Amino acid sequence: MGAGQSVDRDRGQRCVLGRPREEDSRLMSALLPARNRLLAALRTADPAAEAQLREGLESVELKGHTKVMTSDRPIRHVYFPETGVLAVIQQMHNGSAVAVDVVGSDGMVGLAVYLGGVTFPLEAICQAQGTFLRMKAAEFRAEVARNARLLKVLHGYTQAVLEIRAQIIGCNRFHSVECRAARWLLEMDDRVPQDEFMMTHEFLALMLGVRRQTVSAVASDLSRRGLIVYRRGLIEIADRVGLEGATCECYEVIRDEFARLVGPPIPRAHKARAAVKSP
């Protein structure tokens, strides 16, 4: 058997791994759940266009703190998170850093490739372990050039990212640390399928651009009020309605604008069942 090939024993057919025949990829696209919002939007617009994109995607498992993109170095892959979350980090010359974005099943990391970039001034690390779909940067650039439906979805996603960044600038300027912390926690909860997620005080401080001591005080207050449960670097949202009441209007604005420009969020069946059972 040649390198990069495998035998389908059930059907006695041969295919190249990651490059199934066109009809097989369309069948796979119809059977597999779309666990990324951009792929779901593409499937809704044109299932064949999503199947075409999937031909070049591979699934990988990433552990926490794995670096997938280094600042000012060539971008090797673009990532579409499914159950994991990537954090985009801005490193300053004085050694300080701040998280400027977290990307889960709502989007992708590597948008610069679609815009023609070869490098990116920020770095990306795995914040919450899970599964991710990825594609080599050169292949993704070629796919965008020939997949008109994908290009349209990326246009909407890019507009959403730009509008959200503007909203966050205002949020950071005018809203309290507690409101911003509640927003970040809600957004993380939206991006992971589990009831709890990894979130240390150090990383929450990185997300908020404040000292760890400030984060510890805010987290203690949210925990005292019964909104979150914090243990050993893991956070569980104990009272989501209450936490939504503790945040600012930015959470709702960002959520609704993203839905308008990209599409509805990926349903989280386990969390949906839990919500129905809760009083």
Mean pLDDT in residue range 11-20: 38
Residue type, 87: A
Ordered alpha helix ranges (H), the chain: 22-31, 37-45, 47-54, 111-114, 137-146, 148-174, 177-191, 201-208, 212-224, 240-246, 249-261, 269-277
- pLDDT, tens only, 209-242: 899 999 999 999 999 999 999 887 889 999 999 9
pLDDT of residue 33: 76
58-63-67 Cα angle (round to 5): 80
* pTM flag (> 0.75): yes
Range from 22-26, 131-135, 142-146, 172-176 carrying the lowest mean pLDDT? 22-26
Q: In the numeric block, which tokens belong to residue 260?
A: 């308008």
Cβ contacts of residue 263 below 8 Å, gap of 6+? 37, 40, 41, 44
Mean pLDDT highest for which of 31-40, 54-63, 197-206, 267-276? 54-63
pLDDT of residue 5: 40
**Nearest CA-CA partner of 244 in 185, 165, 195, 175:** 185
Largest CA distance in the chain: 63
Q: What's the Rg (C-alpha) of the chain?
A: 20
67-69/77-81 β-pairing: unpaired
Q: In the numeric block, which tokens belong to residue 214?
A: 């400030």
Domains of the chain: 58-146 (2.60.120.10), 167-277 (1.10.10.10)
Mean pLDDT in residue range 4-30: 43
Q: Higher confidence at residue 266 or residue 76?
A: 76
- pLDDT, tens only, 39-57: 999 999 999 999 999 999 9
Bridge partners of 197, per DSSP, are 235
Range from 6-15, 94-103, 109-118 carrying the lowest mean pLDDT? 6-15
Mean pLDDT in residue range 120-146: 96
What band does 38 get if pLDDT is binned at 50, 70 and 90?
A: very high
Residue type, 72: D
User: For residue 265, what is the DSSP state?
Assistant: P
**Nearest CA-CA partner of 252 in 192, 160, 191, 187:** 187
